[in-house]
Structure 1
Amino acid sequence: MSLVKKFATVASGTLMSRALGFGREMLMAAALGTGPVADAFNAAFQFPNTFRRLFAEGAFNAAFVPLFAKEIETHGTEGAKRFSEEVFGVLFTALLALTIIMELSMPLIVRYLVAPGFAGTPGKFDTTVTLATIMFPYLICMSLGAMMAGMLNSLRRYFAAAVAPVFLNIILIGVLAYAWYKGSDALTVGYGLSWGVLAAGLVQLAIVWVAVRHAGISIGFRRPKMTPAVKRLLILALPAAITGGITQINQLIGTAIASAQNSAVSSLAYAC
Structure 2
Amino acid sequence: MAPIDRARRPRGLLHRVPTRRASGTRIGGTQPRSHPVRGIRLPRLVPTRCAGRTRARGLAGTCRAARGTAGSSGNVMSGTRLGKAALIVSGGILLSRLLGFLRTMTLAGILGSTRAADLFQDAFTIPDILFYLMAGGFLSITFIPILARHMAAEDEREGWRSFTAVFRPVAITMTALTVIAMIAARPIVSTVFPRFTAAELDELAHLMRIVFPAQIFFVLGSLFMAVQYAHKRFVIPILAPLIYNTMIIAGGLLAWQAGDTSAEGFIWGALVGAAIGNFGLQWYGAHRLGLRWERNVPWNHPALK
TM-score with structure 1 setting the length: 0.77
In the TM superposition, 1:64-79 aligns within 5 A as 64-74=143-153, 76-79=155-158
Indicate the residue corresponding to 2:54 in structure 1: none
Native 8 Å contact 1:175 1:196 kept in 2: yes
Q: Deviations over 1:158-211 (max 9, x none)?
A: 1111111111111111122323433x2322xx1111111111111020111000
Native 8 Å contact 2:251 2:268 kept in 1: no
Indicate the residue corresponding to 1:210 in structure 2: 284
Higher Cα radius of gyration: 2
Percent identity of equivalent pairs: 28
For the pair 1:186 / 2:253, whether they are aligned, the reply is: no
Indicate the residue corresponding to 2:206 in structure 1: 130
Residues 211 and 67 of structure 1: CA distance in aligned 2, closer, same or farther (over 3 Å): same
In the TM superposition, 1:156-171 aligns within 5 A as 156-171=232-247
Task: Give the distance between the partners of 2:94 and 2:202, measured in 1 at CA.
Answer: 36
Native 8 Å contact 1:51 1:139 kept in 2: yes
Q: 143, 148, 152: which one pairs with 2:228?
A: 152
Shift of 1:51: 2.1
Q: 3-state SS of the aligned residue for 2:195?
A: helix
In the TM superposition, 1:1-272 aligns within 5 A as 2-74=81-153, 76-113=155-192, 115-118=193-196, 121-182=197-258, 184-187=259-262, 190-204=263-277, 205-219=279-293, 226-232=299-305
Shift of 1:227: 1.7
Larger relative contact order, structure 1 or 2 (CA cutoff 8 Å, min sep 6): 1
Over the aligned positions, Cα root-mean-square deviation in angstroms equals: 1.9
Count of aligned pairs between the two proteins = 225
Native 8 Å contact 1:93 1:224 kept in 2: no
Runs of 4+ displaced beyond 6 Å: none
Task: Give the distance between the partners of 1:17 and 1:51, measured in 2 at CA.
Answer: 23
Native 8 Å contact 1:40 1:125 kept in 2: no
Q: Which runs of 5+ in 1 are unaligned?
A: 233-272
| Matched residue type, 1:117 | R
Shift of 1:15: 1.2
Shift of 1:109: 0.8
Shift of 1:129: 0.3
| Matched residue type, 1:98 | L
Residues 194 and 158 of structure 1: CA distance in aligned 2, closer, same or farther (over 3 Å): same
Q: Deviations over 1:203-247 (max 9, x none)?
A: 020111000010122346x68953232431xxxxxxxxxxxxxxx
Q: Deviations over 1:135-176 (max 9, x none)?
A: 101110000111111221111111111111111111111122
Task: Give the distance between the partners of 2:235 and 2:81, measured in 1 at CA.
Answer: 14
Native 8 Å contact 2:211 2:270 kept in 1: yes
| Matched residue type, 2:249 | I
Q: 3-state SS of the aligned residue for 1:156?
A: coil
Higher strand share: 2
Task: Give the distance between the partners of 1:47 and 1:26, measured in 2 at CA.
Answer: 24
